[in-house]
Structure 1
Amino acid sequence: MKASADLLVVGGGTAGLVSARTAAGLGARVLLVERGRTGGDCLWTGCVPSKSLLAAAAAAAGARDATRLGVHAERVRIDFPAVMDHVHSAIDHIEPTDSPASLRRAGVRVETGEFCFTGTASGTVAGRPIRFDQAIIATGSAPLVPKLPGLSGLDYLTSDTLWDLRALPPRMAVLGGGNIGCELGQAFARLGSQVTIIEATGRLLPREDPAASALVEDALARDGARVLTGTGVTGVIPTDAAGSAGGRLVLQDGTTVGFSHLLVAVGRSPRSAHLGLDAAGVECDQRGHVRVDAQLRTTTARIWAAGDITGHPQFTHLAGAHASLAASNAVLGLRRRIDPTVPRVTFTQPEVAAVGVSTAGPPDGVRLRSWSLTEVDRAVTDATTAGFTTIATDAKGRVLGATVVGPRAGEALAELTLAVRHRMRIRDLAGTTHPYPTYADAGWNAAIADVRASLTRPPLSTIVRTASTARRHWVHARARLSSPLGGLNGLPPRKR
């Protein structure tokens, strides 16, 4: 049977969309298979709805907190159905960009149905056989649900099902203090829910700099959320019969936390089951992530993978970048390798953004330089000084990593990501004129402070002092030579 496509793309989320459009743009015959709706997690249950919810929550918090600027607003009233209408209107606005019609205009053929591999170059879509020359697996991930006693009898929420709510949960327990748990927990606290966040490790955002975690925890407390860290959950006791939303979480110490709604946010698991990967010779790790090499090729030469399915960090921006790389490697026969520089942002207030080498306990030979938002003029004028920027460099001053905490930290991280990727020196940042006043001043001032400090360390300090002394003597000598009263050693004065 003749191949149905030069490139088969399985999955219509970010990685699948970018893969398909990239390959079609390179002249390949592309078939994209999606079992449900195109757009994936980012459009329907991830980035777009969550950031829309965060925007509404930030507006509520800003109104309440405006007294710090001398602005006294009346009592803030939350119209939760209207908030959710805003969330869905944002989805509706963006959806046409990710639609099958948009893909077809880009030259991509789209089919709907469950796909299953039957060999290294064949599969079925809704039972109908197809053949392909090459394929990219981009089926993404789904919320991970832990095996907790009693949880299956509860109508719990995840980041997939949360968006069907039409009434504000009066008491929400959030299981997990990672980026999803912190973002959504803060949003619901600001909108008026009584929120409790439970994190098994010793602090929130355990991957981030401890100073950043502490600032986020402080912010959550100001927003009225309760944070419990260093304690696991051993079970769930539903309040009513099966299918109820309310209940109590049982903690390791035997205490309980009551809730009207439970949000499970403990991570995500790859959607690799039921794809028939064994028939295609595609191997997975113990967690179900498809194994790929540095070029995103799987254990079968003609099959590639991109996005959450691979086990690389689960970010939309990374899924898009990897999808473009995988598609161009597959279609053009290139050998491009993945870029190890991966920025990440947690969109709490304050935001936490990081890239490269960790600023928490960095390796030997790595130097840290920090600058607090209390010394950033824009933060002072906005009265939002909770935050900092820390830059990690090596002995030669090359930027290895950074953590930025504060308003718009993700935007401020962009130039630091560029610096890490291109191994720029911190003096390059210091010597670049930055617009004033902005929150990015924290990184710029940190860079300037590091360069100034380097001038006091040998051998550069000796060179600088020698040059400064020589310059001073030269200026004094020139001044005497130019004096109208005469020059040195009886020389006549300079003519003017």
Structure 2
Amino acid sequence: MNESKTDILVIGAGSGGLSVAAGASQMGADVILLEGHKMGGDCLNFGCVPSKALIASGKAAYGQAHSAVFGVADHKPQVDYAVAKDHVRDVIAQIEPMDSQERFEGFGVRVIREYGSFVSPTQVQAGDQVITARRVVIATGSSPLVPPIPGLDKVPFYTNETIFELREKPDHLLIIGGGPIGMEMAQAHIRLGCKVTVIEGMKALGKDDPEAADVVLNALRLEGVAIHESAMVAQIRGSDGAVEVVTENGEIYAGSHLLLAAGRKANVDRLNLEVAGIDQTRAGIKTDDTLRTTNRKVYAIGDVAGGLQFTHVAGYHAGIIIRSALFGLPSKAKTNHIPWATYTQPELAQVGMSEAEAHAQYGGNVETAQFDYHHNDRAVAERKTPGFIKVMVVKGRPVGATIVGHQAGELINLWSLAIANNLKMGQIAAMVAPYPTIGELNKRAAGAYFSPRLFENQTVKRVVRFVQRWIP
């Protein structure tokens, strides 16, 4: 058994782990990075990147079939599902070098392609190496949750880790789970010529603003996606090419392929956390607001920390670790400015508090400013009018924003900036946006906040009348 020592040991080469490894090494720390599977982690290989690539294929097909309104004849798209998957593979291949072992070794990181397991509070074994580290960062991410549904072990099924390898177009894709992954894959596949049925035990897109979620769900239903809510799965049966999902109320949904999109679980099984004195919760590894675990020399970041499970959160956590572990500076992770988006068409994005959460915390002090897409000239020109932006404001400062509609994932960035920097609505209103852009929606939402104060305020009107009458 070989022994090594290092300043920073990073377990997991996904988004968060790679960011810590690159930053720490380039700032002078000695860094070892462990990865037992694929460099780039879930996001590059099974998540964000391939899903958005497949969504792009679906969008291209949909555009061909719905162009008559622009003066271009509709055309039934000729979809080659296998070539669409080639497109997905090519997109991954173009991004892979940024996450490659060679690139990080160029930064001075020692990369060991093995899984890591604690053998003491300060030591981790990886293959034939035992590594003693001053600080350990666990960045092992999460995996698809496979619920214990009777019969599931006897029926072929896909998850986000395997669906992108499927090259034969499903005739009828059954999706268990109506969260963001399920709804994105539902729309992509309906546009690529599959029948799609989504089976959700509670409410589809249930973690999002209900009014905004309905805009998305209605759009998917209009495209032909069958969405069944309050449908708890009781049993799976069938065989390859002929699958049936049976719900507790006796409904039976038959299809050719099954995709599980029922949530995620933290990757902790290989870590031997008990030996290191690291506590867990049901969601993942227990951390404080500095991302330290119950072992003060060990941090956990990204999905495995059991909070918001998004690639950009892992990247944000990496910055916290760099500040804390490398420079010894106090640094705490916050969540109120973290945005997220579902990349359906229309998109759905959120940052900070939802309307319900804001009212629950601030009661009558919450004001809601809303502006609809159909009042935006660029949205009208591009026939992208379904949707709205809603901003929750307390004492003149935004505490949350919900956007559903075209480019919602881009528009939400401004509100993350505003919340992160404690900006006032007046500062948003002072922004000048080029005309005509979708980005004007943000400014117009701020304007909607001020409109009642300016146009319905009798004091303002009296002042204006006085100035017009008496001031030369």
- TM (normalized to structure 1)? 0.91
Answer whether contact 2:54 2:84 (CA < 8 A) is retained. yes
CA distance in structure 2 between the aligned counterparts of 1:212 and 1:258, rounded to whole angstroms:
30
Query: What percent identity do the matched residue pairs reach?
Result: 36
1:227 corresponds to which residue?
Answer: 227
Q: Is the 8 A contact 1:136 1:327 kept in 2?
A: no
Larger Rg: 1
CA distance in 2, matches of 1:97, 1:323: 17
Q: What aligned pairs does 1:151-170 form with structure 2 within 5 A after superposition?
A: 151-170=152-171
Q: Write the distance in 1 (CA, Å) between the matches of 2:83 and 2:372.
A: 38
Structure 2 counterpart of 1:236: 236
Counterpart code for 2:257: H
Residue matched to 1:489:
none
1:282-304 deviations in whole A, cap 9, x for unaligned? Answer: 111134x1111111111111111
Give, as a single letter, the amino acid of the residue that structure 1 aligns with 2:384.
T
Matched residue SS, 1:379: helix
Q: Specify the alignment match of 2:195 in structure 1.
A: 194
Distance 1:414 1:392 in 2: 15
Instruction: State the Cα deviation string for residues 462-483 of structure 1 (Å, max 9, x = none).
Output: 2x234323312323xx4xxxxx
Q: 1:128 to 1:359 in 2, by over 3 A?
A: same
CA positional deviation for 1:360 = 4.1
Aligned partner of 1:351 in structure 2 is 347
Which residue in the other structure is 2:332 paired with? 337
Which residue in 2 is equivalent to 1:482?
A: none
Alignment partners' CA distance in 1, 2:241 and 2:321: 42
- Tell me whether 1:382 sits opposite 2:347 in the alignment: no
2:431 corresponds to 1:474: no
The size of the alignment, in residue pairs, is 466
Alpha-carbon distance in 2 for matches of 1:115, 1:13: 14
Q: Distance in 2 between matches of 1:127 and 1:109?
A: 15
Who is 2:426 aligned against? 427
Letter matched to residue 137 of structure 1: I
**What is the CA–CA distance in structure 2 between the aligned matches of 1:258 and 1:305, rounded to whole Å?**
41
Match in the other structure for 2:206: 206
Hey, what's the Cα distance between the residues in 2 that align with 1:327 and 1:392?
Answer: 33
TM-score by length of 2: 0.96
Q: Counterpart in 2 of 1:490?
A: none
Q: Which amino acid aligns with 1:292?
A: T
1:452 maps to what in 2? 451
Q: How does 1:60-459 map to 2 (within 5 A)?
A: 60-201=61-202, 203-238=203-238, 240=239, 244-287=240-283, 289-340=284-335, 341-360=337-356, 362-363=358-359, 364=363, 365-394=365-394, 396-455=395-454
Please list the CA deviations of residues 128-171 of structure 1 after superposition, one character each: whole Å capped at 9, or x if unmatched. Answer: 32211111000000000111000011110000011111111001
- Structure 2 Cα separation of the partners of residues 142 and 466 of structure 1: 62
Q: Assess if the C-alpha contact under 8 Å between 1:297 and 1:326 holds in 2.
A: no
List alignment gaps of at least 5 residues for structure 1: 479-496
Q: Deviations over 1:16-53 (max 9, x none)?
A: 10110111122100000111221000110001100000
Q: CA deviation at 1:3?
A: 5.2
Give 1:195's aligned amino acid.
Answer: V
2:53 maps to a residue whose letter is S
**What secondary structure, in the 3-state scheme, does the structure 2 residue paired with 1:118 have?**
strand
CA RMSD of aligned residues (A): 1.5
Which runs of no fewer than 5 residues in structure 2 stay unpaired?
A: none
Q: How far does the alpha carbon of each residue in 1:314-347 deviate from its partner, in whole angstroms, 9 at most, with x for none?
A: 0001101101211331122121111321100000
- The match for 1:481 is none
Instruction: State how far apart, in whole Å, the 2-side matches of 1:5 and 1:436 are.
Output: 54
> Residue deviations 1:252-293, cap 9 Å, x none?
210100011000001100000121111111111134x11111
SS of match in other structure, 2:67: helix
Which of structure 1's runs of 4+ aligned residues deviate more than 6 A?
none
Aligned mates of 2:323, 2:384 — CA distance in 1: 44
How far apart, in 2, do the equivalents of 1:382 and 1:117 lie?
55
- Within 2, Cα distance between the matches of 1:74 and 1:473? 63
- Give me the whole-angstrom Cα distance separating, in 2, the residues matched to 1:352 and 1:193: 23
Distance 1:360 1:83 in 2: 40
The 3-state SS of whatever aligns with 1:438 is coil
CA contact (8 A) 1:389 1:404 kept: yes
